[in-house]
Structure 1
Amino acid sequence: MSDFDRKFITDAITRMLARREHSFDEICRKLSQKGIESDAFIPILEEFREANIQCDKRFAESRARALYHKGAGPRKIKLDLQQYGVNEYDAQRAIQEIEADWFEAALKVKVKKFGAGRETDFKYAMKQKQFLQYRGFYSEHIEFAVKGE
């Protein structure tokens, strides 16, 4: 590999990480989309990882926190992190780092979308439950939010 190629790859990785945290898999995918061979960028990316410039754990914490503030539940956050190549341990740890009250988070999302009243109409209550399920909350969180227990 020429010095120019190494500089180009290093600059591309640096620009990505300067904007926000990226997972290892996400950087690999983006560099591959640019037409760069994985044999060329994997060793350089490993150097970034060893220097703690790129860190999947830090990415997971940042991404989990951002999704939580957008109203996502623990299931959705975990699945999202796995799509970015974060291992299950780091994903679970990032969710725990948020220290969220998931019952209150589900209630807050429900109130924002449907209002504070307790729903007595079965069809409308099911609509609320489906919405919260889509947002990634577990059944106990959903029941708390919809029934107001």
Structure 2
Amino acid sequence: MSGEGADDREPSPRGRRERPAVPAYQRALGLLVRREHSATELKRKLRGKGVEVDELDAAVETLQRQGFQDDRRYAEALVRSRALAGQGPIRIRAELRVNGVPAADVDAAFEAAEAEGFDWADTAARVAARFLPALRAAGRGAEAIKLRHKAVGFLLRRGFSQDQARQALALCAEGDDEP
């Protein structure tokens, strides 16, 4: 056979070329093009792709200098998007902490949301409104109390405080009394 030694060769992948290594900066920029990320979140994702710590630190610092990555802007965007999705301030603050956003940036993001006219009581009432049909049907008996507890628990899990949850249900009840 003319292919002596052919068995020693490793099979080559058909039509596949090895991709050149993508620098950490390009990977991070690619992530930021899709949505805002905190610096900690970017570093975590890059580390997961095998990027060296020194390289990813330098990439994130460069992106911050260029204005492509900003923890305050990330926090403001996250507060808006999560609030519109019906999540409360406690849960949002926890998510920002997990993503390594400094406390000053978290506070600034919440202040910015309130300056834009955002109201947590209205958000909680909007979320609690999903319980209105069942509460109306339950009347005022033990079933209604059980449903109110369920609604408060739901609002607490969504990140609203006990007071916000109770106020939301009171607002729903007031709106229910209107003809």
Instruction: Flag whether TM exceeds 0.5 (same fold).
Output: yes
Q: TM-score, normalised by structure 2?
A: 0.74
> Which is worse superposed, 101-110 or 43-52?
43-52
Which residue of the partner structure matches residue 151 of structure 2? 128
Deviations 1:15-36 (A, max 9, x none): 0111111100011001100011
Counterpart among 124, 141, 145 of residue 168 in structure 2: 145
Deviations 1:56-100 (A, max 9, x none): 001001111100010011111111111111112211221221222
**1:44, distance to aligned residue in structure 2 (A):** 2.1
Give the Cα–Cα distance (whole angstroms) in 1 for the partners of residues 28 and 82 of structure 2.
24
Which residue of the partner structure matches residue 9 of structure 1? 24
**1:42, distance to aligned residue in structure 2 (A):** 0.6
Larger radius of gyration: 2
Number of residue pairs the alignment of both structures matches? 144
Matches for 1:88-127 after TM superposition, within 5 Å: 88-99=103-114, 100-111=118-129, 113-115=130-132, 120=140, 121-127=144-150
Give the Cα–Cα distance (whole angstroms) in 2 for the partners of residues 14 and 62 of structure 1.
18
Give the Cα–Cα distance (whole angstroms) in 1 for the partners of residues 165 and 45 of structure 2.
36
User: Letter of the aligned partner of 2:162 in structure 1?
Assistant: S
What are structure 2's unaligned runs of at least 5 residues? 1-19, 175-179
What are structure 1's unaligned runs of at least 5 residues? none
What is the Cα-based RMSD across aligned positions, in Å? 1.8
Matches for 1:41-80 after TM superposition, within 5 Å: 41-80=56-95
Give the Cα–Cα distance (whole angstroms) in 1 for the partners of residues 84 and 165 of structure 2.
18
User: Letter of the aligned partner of 1:138 in structure 2?
Assistant: S
Contact 1:78 1:95 in 2 (8 A): no
**1:14, distance to aligned residue in structure 2 (A):** 1.2
Give the Cα–Cα distance (whole angstroms) in 2 for the partners of residues 43 and 8 of structure 1.
11
Give the Cα–Cα distance (whole angstroms) in 1 for the partners of residues 169 and 59 of structure 2.
50
Give the Cα–Cα distance (whole angstroms) in 2 for the partners of residues 45 and 136 of structure 1.
30
**1:146, distance to aligned residue in structure 2 (A):** 1.6
Which residue of the partner structure matches residue 6 of structure 2? none
Deviations 1:84-121 (A, max 9, x none): 1111221122122122211111111000x212656742
